[in-house]
Amino acid sequence: MAAALLTLGASWAQAQPAGLPLRSSPLLEEKVSARQQSEGAVFVKGEQITARPDMDLVIEGQASIRRPGLAVSADRVDYDQTQDVVDASGKVRVSRETSVFTGPHLNLKVDSFQGTFEKPDFELYSSGGYGQAAEVEFVDDKRSILRKASYTTCRRTPGPEWLPEWLLKATQLTVDEEESTIDAKGVQFRFKDVPIFAAPSLSLPLTNERKSGLLPPLFSVDTVNGVEVAQPYYFDIAPNRDATVTTHVMSQRGIAADTEFRYLERDYSGQVRLNLMPADKLRDANRWGLSSQHNGGIDTGLESVGRIGLGLTLNRVSDNNYWRDFPRSGLALTQRILPSTGVLSWGKGDFSMTAQVQRWQNLQDAAPPYDRAPQITMRYGQWNAEGLDWSVVGDTTRFEADYSRVASLVANGTLPRNGERSYIQAQVSRPWIRPWGFVTPKVQLHATRYQMDRALDNGALSANRVLPTFSVDSGLVFERETRWFGRDVLQTLEPRAFYARTPYKNQDMLPVYDSGATDFNLATIFSENAYVGQDRLVDNDALTLGLSSRFFDAGTGAEMLRIGMAQRIRFSDQQVNLSSNQADRAAGLSDILFGAGIRWDDRWSFDATIQAKNQTHEISRTTLQGRYSHSAYRVINMAYRANNQVTPKTEFVDVGWQWPLSDLIGRTDRQAETAWTRTSGQGLGPDRWYSVGRLNYSLKERSLVDTLVGLEYDAGCWLGRVAFERLQTNISTASPTSATSRILFQLEFVGFARVGISPLKHLSDNIPRYQYLRDSAVQPSRFQHYE
């Protein structure tokens, strides 16, 4: 028989045309439609069935009735077809796509899904919650009322003495699947069988969907704020808009309020954040901070013009000490120089243009960056046009700065060099690229004009500069197949030569608006200009030589190892500097750069960069970074950074980790972990401790700069986190050191609420490859519980 079926199947397959298309089936859709429910077939099964056509039906012994979206099983089922009522008794089980109920007796109108269930146990798939009730009243297929109910997400373990770690008791639970909420009345919450709080009413989310209401309160202890209690309230304004208002009460500083508003439209999106502290005891002043971002476009209604891009960024604070006193207000407001920018952009084909206004709020006693008021840039270019890549960029900018609020500059009588700068930069290159290598000659022309508000050092109010640049970039690629440690490997050897020539022109009198030195590394060493911006064009007559080798896994193509080195040879002195006080760079050999990167497998990675002086062979800069990621929730990051080119010299060691403590005491159960981690983002299993942290240590100062250490405990249905954080704002011996410390503590009752100050964002920001013990839950498919 089997052989005949196989033969028939093979003949049928051969008869089908190649590329037989697959069609979607409504039976496999995630949601059961109303049409399927009303028109779908009804299946009846049991040891004994007694029926009167179109009147009633009695099923006894392992009885079950199944239809699309609903399955009912019991010891006995009576079905009154005239009333469409099912009466089931004895081990009754009602299974739907979103829930399952089990109990002794059920009375239910099938089509309207109205009825009652006595003393049921239940499971809600959307929230992962379990519970019991004295009675369930099914209002319709989306709403049900559970009376004298208990609810938890703790999984039952064998044994009569089992009690859930946490339990929510309520006189009434109303489950609304349409609104994705659970409304509770007469609430009592118990943790470890100890009453924690009670409330007359409470609303819980059934899924991860948003809902307006009070969020769990937050508690923390801080050396600056003292004991802090924060109460957030969430406003679900619309599917594409929401807001959160958080009130803070701090024992050492007073009362503050944070407001965040977010919006997302088809053509634009953004957020606004406002921090208010009316009377800060720390400074005896009113404090505030405002941060706003908006990105989108404007539809002109003209087909020839199309859309115009719009970007707005606003960052402002009340005073110069804000970054020091509010170190955790977010990156946008904790910098010492705050940008506010408005940008319009437009492009069509090969042409694009932007117009922007940028202003800075300076919070330090140093010269602020120049405002751009405004800057207009136009660009036109083509790539691979008859083999050529060419472009023309035109820019005109008004630069302004105000030094009147910088005490040190006022004392020295330093004045800003406000003015306008316009430039045109044209370039053309012809790449020849082959499998064995490449050659790319390039010619550039820079034309710049300055119009100053006050005279330059030579007495002129304007200055012009026109400079050409010629460069040639070339490289070869040699390959060979080899074998390393039993693995087939493809190795490359890639020599590279880059020559650049720019004639010298004295630029000491020109202002420095937006130029600065580029970082000297294995990428920027192969560039025409040692400075970013347009105020300084370095005089170049230099050849850069480099050699790199890469090793690839021949089977997967993954890069396993990369090593390289590069050095620049100057044929003449470099005389153009950012300021006239800087010494010229002598002709000859530059510092030599070494780099390496190892990705031998998915667990190990290592990167290294070393800059060494050519004459003395002293190490100028060193960066060493390594990572070991054994498996899920096991990662160690280490880094060493030293810079001997700055004053004072710096040398840091950085260590970050996430690791289960069970590994250290020999309690690792790899088989159980594998079974548990099949669902990503759910930890390694219950009853596990994890150590997490990051330490940044200054070897020069012999002190910790930034510290974040903590513990996480996963009990399965609840998580505990505690962390200690210390942020240091200054480690220089030239100025006093200040730091703030705080303790972060949180209890997370899975599927219910979080209480305390969450360290999760701090851990994920500071520990590369840190994994949450509970990622946002993916809603289960109805086929996971198909009956």
Residue 310: its pLDDT value, please?
95
Quote the pLDDT of residue 265. 92
Rounded percentage of the chain residues whose pLDDT exceeds 90 = 48
Is the model's pLDDT at 713 over the cut of 70? yes
Which tops the pLDDT comparison, 539 or 325? 539
Please answer whether residues 478 and 460 qualify as being in contact, where contact means their C-beta atoms are separated by less than 8 angstroms. Answer: no
> b/e for 490-529, b at 16 or more Cβ within 10 A?
bbbebebebbbbbebeebeebbebbbeeeebebeebbbbb
Q: Tens digits of per-residue pLDDT, 254-272?
A: 999 999 999 999 889 999 9
pLDDT above 80: residue 329: no
Determine the average pLDDT of the residues in 429-442.
95
Percent share of the chain, pLDDT over 70: 89
Give the chain's radius of gyration (CA, Å): 35
Rounded mean pLDDT, 268-294: 92
End-to-end CA distance of the chain: give it in Å, rounded. 30
DSSP class of residue 695 equals: E
Residue 728 has pLDDT above 80, yes or no: no
The position carrying tokens 């997370």 is 748
Residue 340: band (very low, low, confident or very high) from pLDDT cuts 50, 70, 90:
very high
175-227 pLDDT per residue, tens: 988 888 888 999 999 998 899 888 898 887 777 777 788 887 888 788 888 88
Count the Cβ atoms, other than its own, within 10 Å of residue 117. Answer: 24
Residues in Cβ contact with 32 at an 8 Å cutoff, skipping those fewer than 6 apart: 68, 69, 97, 782
Please provide residue 320's backbone torsions phi and psi, each rounded to the nearest 5 degrees. -75, -15
The distance of Cα 109 from the centroid of its chain, to the nearest Å, equals 48
Q: How far is residue 74 CA from its own chain's centroid? A: 49
Per mean pLDDT, which range of 92-96, 234-238, 697-701, 742-746 is the poorest?
A: 742-746
Per-residue pLDDT, 732: 43
Higher pLDDT, 728 or 501: 501
Residue 744, pLDDT > 60, answer yes
C-alpha dihedral over 534, 538, 541, 543, to 10 degrees? -80
Answer whether residue 527 shows pLDDT above 60: yes
Q: How far apart, in whole angstroms, are the C-alpha atoms of residue 221 and residue 146?
A: 40
DSSP string, 7-47: HHHHHHHHHSPSSPPP---GGG-SSPPHHHHHHS--EEE-S
C-alpha torsion 100→102→108→112, nearest 10: -10
Give 574-599 pLDDT, tens digit per residue: 999 988 888 888 899 999 999 999 99
Is the model's pLDDT at 730 over the cut of 70?
no
Mean pLDDT, residues 456-472 taken together: 93
Residues facing 219 on adjacent strands: 229
Question: What is the token pair recorded at 294?
Answer: 């908006």
Averaged pLDDT score across all residues of the chain: 86
- Quick one: tokens of 414? 């330093």
Cβ 298 vs Cβ 308: under 8 Å: yes
pLDDT at 27 over 70: no
Contacts of 671 (CB under 8 A, 6+ apart): none
User: What average pLDDT does the segment 4-25 reach?
Assistant: 50
Q: Could you tell me which residues are beta bridge partners of residue 316?
A: 290
pTM of the model: 0.80
Q: Lowest mean pLDDT of 70-84, 200-214, 265-279, 369-383, name the range.
A: 200-214
**pLDDT exceeds cutoff 50 at 11:** no
Q: Where are the alpha helices (DSSP H) in 303-448?
A: 322-325, 407-412
pLDDT for residue 1? 37
H/E element, 606: strand 604-612
Burial classification of residue 383, based on how many CB atoms lie within 10 Å of its CB (0-12 exposed, 13-18 middle, 19 or more buried): exposed
Q: Which of 370, 364, 367 is nearest to 534 (CA)?
A: 370
- List the single range of 182-191, 355-364, 435-444, 752-761 with lowest mean pLDDT: 752-761
Sign of CA dihedral 756, 761, 766, 770: positive
Poorest-pLDDT segment among 77-91, 214-228, 522-536, 630-644: 214-228
Q: What is the token pair recorded at 154?
A: 């703790």
Cβ–Cβ under 8 Å, residues 777 and 743: no
Q: Quick one: pLDDT band at residue 7, thresholds 50, 70, 90? A: very low
The residue type of 657 is W
Task: Give the pLDDT confidence of 229-249 residue by residue, as tens digits.
Answer: 888 999 999 989 999 999 999
CA distance 763 to 692: 8
Per-residue pLDDT tens for 630-685?
888 899 999 999 999 888 899 999 999 999 987 776 655 555 555 444 455 678 88
Residue pair 123/136 in contact by the 8 Å Cβ criterion:
no
Residue type, 81: Q
